Structure 1
Amino acid sequence: MTGAQQTYNPPAPDQVASAEELARQSLYAFLTRVLAKPMTTAEGHSIAPFVGSDSALGAAATALHDAILASEAEQFSEEYQNLFIGVGRGELLPFASYYLTGFLNEKPLAQLRRDMARLGFERPADVKEPEDHIAAICDIMSHLIEGTALGGFDIYDQDQFFAAHLKPWAGKFFADLESAKTADVYRHVGRVGKLFMEIEEQGFGMIARA
C-alpha cells in the first residue's frame, strides 16, 4: 500500500460485497496505483471492466484503456516524472494541503492524520511523502470500502472520510490533471478520476438525505 497502512484486524465477512461496491473499490485501487508511481501497460486490464458502457465514465475508461495499450512503459515514466516530480517540482502537486491552502503540510494534513488514527490507519515507515497525497487518500477509501464489506467499517465512515478529505479538492485536482500540459495518457486518468468523484459525491449525497 502507498501512503496508508491498514492496521485493524477486520472480523470475518458477514456479508457479500455488491457488484457496485466491488467496482468502487477497484477504481479507487486503480487510481491509487497509477498516481503513486508510473503506471504500466498491465493497468489496461485493470480499467477494462469499466469499458463499454454508455455512460460518461464508460467512455472515459474506454479512452484511457486504448491510450494505455497504445503506449510504451517509457512514456508512462516520463509523463509521471513531468507531472508529479520534475526538476524541483512537477507540473502538479497532488496534495490536499496544497490544493486547499496553497502550502504543503498544513491543517488538512493534520486533520487527515487524526482521522487516519481514529479509523486505524497509519503511514508505512518506508513512505516519506505526506499522507495527504491523492494516491494515499484513494488508497484509504479503497480499504474503507473493503472494510465495509467485511463489517469493520460502514457506509457512514466512507461518507465522512470522502466529505472531509476528497470532496473539497479531488475534483479540482483531477480536472487539472486532465488539462495538464505534460499529460498525454494521464489526461485520461484525470478524466476518469473527475467523473468518478462526481459520481461518488452524488451517491453520498443520497445517503445524507435518506
Structure 2
Amino acid sequence: MTATADAAAPLVSEEDRLRADLYNFLGLILASPPDEFLLGQTAGLQGDDTDLGVAINALAKIAKLSKPPAVEREFNKLFIGLGRGELLPYASYYLTGFLNEKPLAQLRRDMAARGMTRAQNVYEPEDNIASLMEMMGALIAGRFGEPASLADQKTFFNTHIGPWAGHFFSDLEKAKNSVLYASVGAVGRVFMEIEAEGFRMSAEKSA
C-alpha cells in the first residue's frame, strides 16, 4: 500500500501515535515473516499490567526465544501452505466465506476516496489483515494527508476491521501451527477490543 501523494506526517497526540505504532507493528509482522531485526525489536517491547500490556510482554518473551527460520516455517504453515495456509486472513473470507467479495470492493472504493492505492509490488488482495492494520495506522498518523478525524477512524474501523479482525486474531491465537503468532494473535485480539470500546465510548460522549 502507498499514498498517491506523499505528505509530511503532521503532529498527532501521543496516544494516537502509540495506537498508530501498534497498528503498524501488527501490519508489519503479519505481512511477512519477521527477520532477525524485527524479532529483536519485538523482544524489546515492554508492556504494563493491563490486558494489552500482559499480552505484549508475553509476545516479547517468546520473540526472545524465536529464530527467523523457525518463524518463517510457522508463517508459511499459517498463511501460505500447500494451496492455502491454516488461516485465510482476508475480510471477504471472514465476512462472506469467499475471497474477493463485496468487502474487498467496498474497501477499494474507500481507499480511493482517501488517496490510498495498492503498492505496485504487492499482489495480495487489499482486504488482508496486514494491509488493513497498515491502513488504519496510516489514517491515524496522517500518512495520506491530514490525520483522520476520530469519526472517520471509527467509520473505517467499523466498516473494514471491527466486524472480523477480532475473530481472526482469536483464530490466530488458537491455530494449530501458531507459536510466536499465538502471542501476536493475543495482542491483536486485545487491541481490537480496546479500539472497539474506545470508538463506542466516543459515540456515547458525542450523542
Q: What TM-score, normalized to structure 2?
A: 0.92
Matches for 1:59-208 after TM superposition, within 5 Å: 59-147=54-142, 151-208=146-203
Out of 33, 36, 44, the position equivalent to 2:31 is 36
Paired amino acid for 1:74: P
Structure 1 residue 52 displacement after superposition: 3.4
Could you list the per-position Cα deviations for residues 49-105 of structure 1 after superposition, in whole angstroms to 9, with x for gaps in the alignment? 752311011111011001011111111100000000000100000000000000000
2:22 matched residue in structure 1: 27
CA contact (8 A) 1:141 1:162 kept: yes
Question: Gaps spanning 5+ residues in structure 1: where?
Answer: none
Q: 1:149 to 1:120 in 2, by over 3 A?
A: closer
Q: 1:39 to 1:165 in 2, by over 3 A?
A: same
Could you list the per-position Cα deviations for residues 98-124 of structure 1 after superposition, in whole angstroms to 9, with x for gaps in the alignment? 000000000000010010001110111
Coordinate RMSD, CA, aligned: 1.9
Paired amino acid for 2:203: A
SS at match of 1:42: helix
Q: 1:7 to 1:150 in 2, by over 3 A?
A: closer
Fraction of identical pairs, as percent: 48
Paired amino acid for 1:6: A
Structure 1: distance between partners of 2:60 and 2:25: 12
Structure 1: distance between partners of 2:170 and 2:9: 39
Does residue 5 of structure 1 match 2:19?
A: no
SS at match of 1:89: coil
CA contact (8 A) 1:148 1:154 kept: no
Structure 2: distance between partners of 1:83 and 1:53: 29
Structure 2: distance between partners of 1:45 and 1:207: 36
Q: What TM-score, normalized to structure 1?
A: 0.91
Could you list the per-position Cα deviations for residues 159-184 of structure 1 after superposition, in whole angstroms to 9, with x for gaps in the alignment? 11000000000000000000000000
